[in-house]
Structure 1
C-alpha cells in the first residue's frame, strides 16, 4: 500500500514539475502518463486506508472511530487551506488536493459499513452519474469569488463559494470523486494478501481503463466527437492546432460535449472510469510485486515515501512556492523525487511515522478517546490512530 502511494506521489511531483503542455503545445509525458491518474490513485488509496483503520474485512465502526476520522479530515483540510495560502501567494498552478481530500473523508463516514459489492456498484454509479450531476450543478451553485486554491480566509469571506468549489467547480469535485473512495473501501474490505484478489484488481482495472479509453477514442476520433468538442469548448484555438488541446486539456464544462472528454481532470464518465481502472490496476500490480522479497526490496524507497504522504505532499508544495528551479523542470523533478525518497528512508529508519502523520494520528487518538469516554484506557487494534502494516 505504501509503495502504491509512493508511486502516486512521484506522479504528482512530475506533473507539477513539467506541467501539462510543452512549449510547442504538445502534452508532456508526465501529463500523459500521470495526469489525473496520480490524484485518482491517492483518492482510491484513501478509501483503502479507511477500510484498514475500521477493521479491514470485518468492519468495526463506533463513535470513537468516526470522531477520529473526522478529526483527521479537519486537520488535513486545515493543512490544505494553509498550503492554498502559500500557493496563491506564490502564484502556483498546483491545485492543492488536501481540502477536497478532507471532504472525501467526511463523505465516507456513512459508507463504512457497506458490503464490498455494494461499494463497487456505488463507485461505478458515481463514476458515471457524478460527472453528469456536476455538469448540471455548474450553473446552479455559485462560482467561488477567489481565484486559485482556497485559503483559511475563504472559510469566512466566501463559505458558499468554497463549498461549491469543493463539490462541483474544483479540479477534484467531491460529488464525483467519492467514487474513488468507494472503490478503495471495497478493495480494503477484501483479502489483499490474496494473490487472486491482487490479480483481479490488476486484470479488472486494466480492462476498465483500456475499455473506457478505447470507447472515448472512438467517440472522439471516429464519430466526430473531437470536432464537436472543439466547436463547443476550444474555438479560441484554430482547428488544425487544437487537436492536442482538445484531447489533453480539460474542457470548462460549458456544454454537454465536455462529458465525452478523456482528458485528465475533465471529470467526464470516461475520465472517471479510466482513472478508476488505472488506480485499481496499479494497486493490484504493486500487491503482486511486493509478494516476493526482490519486489519489496526494489520498492522499499517508494514505500518509505508512501508511508508519509501528507508530510511529503506539503513539503513539495512549499518547495514549489519558493520558485526554486522553476526554469529547469528536469532538475526540479529530480530534486523533488530524490529529496522525498532520501528524507523518507532516513526518517522512517530513525523516527518511524512521518512528522505530520504522527501529529494527525495523535490528535485522532485523543478525539477517539474523548468520544468513547474518559474511562477508555485501551485502544482496539483497528482504530485509526494506530500504525497499520503496509
Structure 2
C-alpha cells in the first residue's frame, strides 16, 4: 500500500485534505498519514492576539475533530527528512509520496543577542508563553512601583509587529486597570529599519495605520538598523550614529524563515530553511534532484518565484491555502497514474492588516479599504476558513 505522508497541520496541508474529493478515500491502494507536533490546527495569522492576551482557545481546532476519518494522525516531532524516510522524535516513518507543510521559525539574521534576549511569535505555545511573560513582567513592575517606566520594544513594523501592537494596546487598557498602572508608565516603541511601516501597502494606508497607533501613544523609531540586542535594550544605527533604545521587554517580529527541519535535512538544498519549488510545487535546484519526483513542499517551507517579477512570493496563509487546494487536484491524478499538466498560479485576493479591535487597513483587488469595514471583512475571512474546516460545530462553545 502506498503511503502519502503529510508533515504539519497548518493552512497548506489542511486546505489540501479538505479539498480532496470523497472518492479518494474509497481507494485501498494508498493511505494518508499526517504527522504534527501538536494535536491542534491553529490560525497562525491570529497568533498576535494570543500573545497580546485577546484570545486563546478560539484560534485552535482539534485535529481529531476536523481531519477526514481516513487520515491517520500521529503526534510526533519531525527531526529530519531523508529519502523515503521521516526521522521523528518517537519513531521513523516511511513514505512513497511526501508533502512537507511544516511551519516557520523566527529569523534573527545573525544579529547578536536576539536569541538570548528577545521573544518571538511563531507558534501557538510560544504565543501563550509570551502572553504570560508580559503579564508577569507587568505584575512585577506594579508590585515594585518603579519610578522608571516599563518599556516594551517591538522589533519590526511588518504584519506581525503592527498587528501585535494594535491588539496589545487595546488589551493593555484592562491590564493597567487590574494592576493599577498609570498609562504614562508603559512605553511601547516599534523599531523598523525601513522608512515606513507596513511597506506592502500604499503610503496612504501605511500612514493611516501609523497615525492611528501614534494616537494611542505608540512611538515609532523608523530608519533604525538593529545592530545588537542586549538584556535591557536594542543597539541601533540611525542617521549614521549608534544609539541605544532602552527596553524592559523585547519582542522580535522582524523576520521569519522556513522550518529548522529543512535546514537540518541534508536531503534538501535550502536557503533560509526554504526549498525552491516549481509550478508543480516540487523541489528544484536540488543536489538530489533525481529523488524529488514524489516530494512536494508547500506553505512556509516553500520558495516560489513570481513568473512575472522573478521574485519570491512572500509566505502568507492565502498562498498556503491556494497551494494546498492545487496540490489536492494534482495528487488525485498522480495517485491514479494520470498525467497532470496544469501549473500552479497564485491569485491574490487581497490583504488586510488588523490594528486592534476597532481598525484595519487593506486592499481587495484595486480597492483600498480601512477602518471597521476592513476589520469586519478580515473577521469574515477567518470565519469562512473555520467553517471550511469544521462546519457549524466550529462555532459551538462545546466543540
Q: What is the TM-score when the length of structure 2 is the normalising length?
A: 0.28
Structure of greater Rg: 2
Bigger proportion of residues as strand: 2
Q: What is the TM-score when the length of structure 1 is the normalising length?
A: 0.29
Bigger proportion of residues as helix: 1
Query: Per chain length, whose mean CA-contact separation is higher, i.e. which structure has more relative contact order (CA < 8 Å, sep 6+)?
Result: 1
